Amino acid sequence: MAQILGALSTSHVPAIGRAIANKLQQDPYWKPYFDGWAPVHRWLAEHKPDVAVVFYNDHGLNFFLDKMPTFAIGAAPVYRNADEGWGIPQVADFAGDQDLSWHLIEQLVGEGFDLTTCQEMLVDHAVTNPLQMMYPGQAWGARIVPVCINTVQFPLPSARRCWALGDAVGRAVRAWDSDARVVMLGSGGLSHQLDGQRAGFINKDFDLAFLESLAHDPRWATRFDTRQLVEQAGTQGVELLMWLAARAALGDKAVRVHQNYHIPISNTASGLLLMTPSG
Ligand code: DHB
Ligand code: FE
């Protein structure tokens, strides 16, 4: 059966793509962010995942406000990045894993998750950022299965539902008849708000409480409804739902292997967390 190696969650910001393109890794502004990835690179070199299930939120590239699935999953042989309008170079195509995609679709729809299945799917910076950070040079070491959670148009799925989704994905991966080594990715957050009266809002206390909860009380965030999460983390900070889904896939017991937190990159409180299943 397939094995889940761990859950890796990270913030995403289009400016990361620009910093990589302009080789700004050692620039004083960017260094605290890029340096945070060194332990993750060592872990990846040791554990070599074959597939990454990527919980992320699309920002208007693949889905626009006219058609907005709550949960969508890729079932494509290949995923292409395209111009989002941020002026960052596009990255190489990502290979999909259709066997895992259809296994997840069968299992999750069977459990009552009404997923939108996408046999074609463009992926934006929320997918490219973490993969570029994991595999500098765009030599993608893992196939991907993108799982998109709506955080851009209300009503959003609840934290409780995102936990349930991640939990179901985790159980389905562990039941997949394959010898693949799988990593869960969560892409989004932490606190940030790009628009409105609170533009620039960051909530360090809440971010640190959330990070701590993932290690010691992982369902903690499910007590908040999505409006309370927006209040605490900002209109875009609610992207932290991706971290909750990735964490849930590990089951209740898991150990924290690495954490980095740095304010800000662009308008965002940047977090990085690597956890592995325990026992
Ligand atoms: C920024 C953050 C995001 O999550 C995003 O999707 C786009 C931009 C930012 O901080 O600039
Ligand atoms: Fe975002």
Q: How far apart are CA 271 and CA 205, in angstroms?
A: 13
Q: Which ligand 1 atom sits closest to the C-alpha of 239? A: 4
| Residue 13 Cα to ligand 1 middle (Å) | 4
Asked if residue 247 has its Cβ within 6 Å of ligand 1, the reply is: no
Low-confidence ranges of the chain (pLDDT < 70): 279
**Residues acting as catalytic residues:** 125, 192
| Residue 131 Cα to ligand 1 middle (Å) | 16
Q: How far apart are CA 8 and CA 38, in angstroms?
A: 13
The per-residue DSSP string of 89-137 comes to -----EEB-HHHHHHHHHHHHHTT--PEEESS-EE-HHHHHHHHHHSTT
- Counting every residue, how long is the chain? 279
Asked if residue 59 has its Cβ within 6 Å of ligand 1, the reply is: yes
Question: Between the CA atoms of 121, 124, 130 and 132, what dihedral angle is there, to the nearest 10 degrees?
Answer: 100
Strand runs labelled E in the chain: 3-10, 51-56, 71-74, 78-81, 94-95, 116-118, 122-123, 143-149, 181-187, 254-265, 268-277
Instruction: Output the pLDDT for position 279.
Output: 61
Instruction: Output the pLDDT for position 278.
Output: 84
